[in-house]
Amino acid sequence: MKKAALIALSVLMFTGIISAQNIDDALRYSQVFYSGTARYNSMGGAFTALGADLSSLSQNPAGIGVYRSSELSITPQLNYIRSNTNFNGSTADYLYNFNLNQGGFVRNMLKNDGTSGLISFNIGYSFNMTNNLNQNYMVSGINNSSSMADAWAGYSEGTHFTDLEGAEGIAYDTWIIDTITGAGGNSYGTVFSNYGDNPSSVYGHNVKRSASYEGYLGEHAISFGGNYSNKIFFGATLGINTLRYSSYFEHIESTDVSLPSQFKSFNYIDYFEDRGTGFTFKFGLIAKPVEMVRIGLAFHTPTYYKIDEYFYEDISSKFTDGSTYPAHNEPLRFNYALNTPFRFLAGVGVQVQKFALLSADYEYVDYSSAYFFQTGDGYNYSEKNDAIRGSLKAVSNFRLGGEFRLNKLYFRSGYGYYGKPFKSIEENSDLDYRTISCGLGFRERNISIDFGYVNYKSSQVNYLYQLDPWFTPATYNLETNKNMFSLTMGFKFGL
């Protein structure tokens, strides 16, 4: 039976919305795909042992100690992001995105002509993009086995219709789900089963989902460091991290089949926006035991983020008798905090006279150590943090880079592998990330112009919605192919 009148919920239960903080959020805000100047990008980001690049302030602060003069640089970037999904058929979508990937300076404060002791001391600032979160994709196909309505009915099971909250509440208000006759108002059927009167649901309906993600993780790196005896380079960075992310998806289900419930279609919208600021400290050393070899080490403390979230949901339904039912949840704002994992980096670089430069990086990060905590509302995050520890694991990341010089021209290439963050029991246990890069640079004493290209690929399994075990999982494959073009203009002074 249905309510006599539709009820618009004015306030969503906090525990219903707090589910927005989940494993995917913890991983998204913990992952770092270092990005910066075109030179840095085209060499795969393998700069732990190299330095003398403003992007290294966010990776190994000791890189600032390698500078012999002051420098300015700025790096705009163009991204072409292509996404392919497969849900009973393949669908492609794409997005162009333009941003400021890097901008900053280093200032030489002390410069001695000797060969021992403190030879130079520098301070610097650079904004570096650490994760580009922009992406669009579409899912389209015929679903012969389930509906999002089944998920809402399943989540509502055992809850009296007067107590339904969140998406389940507005799915009830729009007649997508309803109580089963004679079940006491605690059990639910859907429009596909005529609200339980026809136990075998009739599917074969069209499913379309469009998703749009916008945002980035970026770091304002404030650094200092120096050169001791041309053998040891040291540095430290205070990172002020910026988090901007929004997720909007629209899920549509429609049928051409004549159903007893007279259902025609429903449209579900989910939107949330996160804005946050974080702080981290980074320390690093670069040693040069012999002239042609550099060895780099760096440690990053966990980043503490304080995040403000805005969230709302909306459902509208249509029936063949011409009736429509719109309902929405009132937007809600709340705050939470996240600690991301610490990171350890090691690298080695080899300089072959003035002809070639080769480098390799290793990075260790344990994603299972990320955790949420409350910022004054008293919410207990222990269950969510247990889920993080149970699903994520430690990974090893590798980066390789090379640079070859021909007079005033520099040719570069690189490769990056970012390990699998999910444990073997998880659906995405094979998810990893790979980058291939190349670039070209020009140097004329105090002026430099560099171009870099990076191709980034990943493939993962996503859920349209979560269902009870007796339903076929509603999953689709998402393949992401990002093409990033960057141009850096640099100027040295104080030579």
Domains of the chain, start order? 17-159+196-493 (2.40.160.60)
Query: Among the residues of 249-392, which ranges form H helices?
Result: 382-391
What is the value of pTM for the model shown? 0.91
In the chain, which residues have pLDDT < 70? 1-20, 469-472, 495
What is the per-residue pLDDT for 376?
Answer: 80
**Rounded to an integer, what is the distance from CA 495 to the centroid of its chain?**
40
CB 437 within 8 A of CB 426: no
Residue-wise pLDDT tens digits, 133-166: 999 999 999 999 999 999 999 999 999 999 999 9
How big is the CA angle at 481 (ends 53 and 247), to the nearest 5 degrees? 90
Four-residue CA torsion sign, 398, 289, 67, 284:
positive
Write the DSSP symbol of residue 467: -
Residue of 27, 18, 42 lying closest to 388 (CA atoms): 27
Write the DSSP symbol of residue 64: G
Rounded to whole angstroms, how far apart are CA atoms 373 and 311? Answer: 19
**Rounded to an integer, what is the distance from CA 426 to the centroid of its chain?**
19
Over pLDDT 90: what percentage of the chain?
83
**Rounded to an integer, what is the distance from CA 455 to the centroid of its chain?**
16
Query: What does residue 302 show for φ and ψ, rounded to 5 degrees?
Result: -55, 145
What is the per-residue pLDDT for 465?
Answer: 87
The 10 Å CB-count burial string (b at 16+, else e) for 2-29 is eeeeeeebeebeeebbbebbebebbbbb
- For residue 40, give both structure tokens: 């840095």
